[in-house]
Amino acid sequence: MNYSLNDVEARVLGALVEKEITTPEYYPLSLNALMNACNQKSNREPVMTLDEDAVRSAIRSLNDLGLSRFASSADSRVGKYEHRLNETFNFHRHEIAILCVLMLRGPQTPGELRTRTERMYAFEDLESVHNALNLLAKREPPLVQVLPRQPGLLTAWPRCKRKLKRYAPRLPICSSSLRRSANSLTRNGLQKLRPSSDCRRIVLPRMRYRPR
């Protein structure tokens, strides 16, 4: 099955995944809690200001794709929602942690992924991050891709000046934003991604991967 997600749907899905892992006592999420999770200012790139209608519309689309569902119990007075990403793809914990960060924060280097997945999964070292990325890349079809190497971005490894590789899922990244992330540079590195009005929907999971 092909999945097509826009930036709002990807943010909603990523927020559901994150909250299930980091705050399971408050999961599943009500519509208001989900909206707040999508709009929080920390661990989000770009920061969004979605209203209830936008979140509700995204949830309907995710429900239609089988990626989320209504999850209220009989004794609950408030409608709540949960994701079905594990059921759909049968992810391991380290795989879903990486995809969650990529959905919420856009393209990342392996070092950034190791740091930013700490609350969801503790990678022992960079090699274990690379191994998880390789698993995602070798899925059929692949679920992550390597962006072109960027001039001026160097690793912090001692006695080594290798350009960093940045990984991204095709799932949450609009094609125009992805292109900017790969091509827009400043003296201090990549410019931050910004929302694009010409964001185009993209088909998933038809993804490309450029080997190391």
The reported pTM is 0.71
Question: 177-193, pLDDT tens digit by residue?
Answer: 433 443 433 333 433 33
**Backbone phi, then psi, for 190, in 5-degree steps?**
-70, 140
Question: 6-49, pLDDT tens digit by residue?
Answer: 999 999 999 999 999 999 999 999 999 999 999 999 999 999 99
Give residue 140's domain range.
Answer: 97-183
In this structure, the answer to whether residues 173 and 121 fall within a common structural domain is yes
- Whether residue 51 lies inside any domain: the answer is yes
Looking at residue 208, its pLDDT comes to: 34
Asked whether the beta carbons of 82 and 16 are under 8 A apart, the reply is yes
In this structure, the answer to whether residues 17 and 75 fall within a common structural domain is yes
Question: What DSSP string runs through 29-51?
Answer: EEHHHHHHHHH-STT-SS-----
Looking at residue 130, its pLDDT comes to: 95
Looking at residue 170, its pLDDT comes to: 59
* Greater model confidence, 5 or 204: 5
In this structure, the answer to whether residues 47 and 104 fall within a common structural domain is no
- For residues 144 and 147, give the distance between their C-alpha atoms in angstroms, rounded to a whole number: 10
Please say which residue of 19, 52, 87 terminates a domain: 87
- Whether residue 129 lies inside any domain: the answer is yes
Q: How many domains does the chain have?
A: 2
Q: Where are the beta strands (DSSP E) in the chain?
A: 3-5, 29-30, 68-70, 80-83, 145-146, 167-168, 185-186, 189-190, 202-204
- Whether residue 207 lies inside any domain: the answer is no
In this structure, the answer to whether residues 176 and 130 fall within a common structural domain is yes
Q: Above 70 in pLDDT, residue 162? A: no
- Whether residue 128 lies inside any domain: the answer is yes
In this structure, the answer to whether residues 117 and 140 fall within a common structural domain is yes
Closest CA to 207 of 154, 156, 147: 147
In this structure, the answer to whether residues 75 and 110 fall within a common structural domain is no
Q: Above 90 in pLDDT, residue 165? A: no
- Whether residue 208 lies inside any domain: the answer is no
CATH number at residue 170: 1.10.10.10
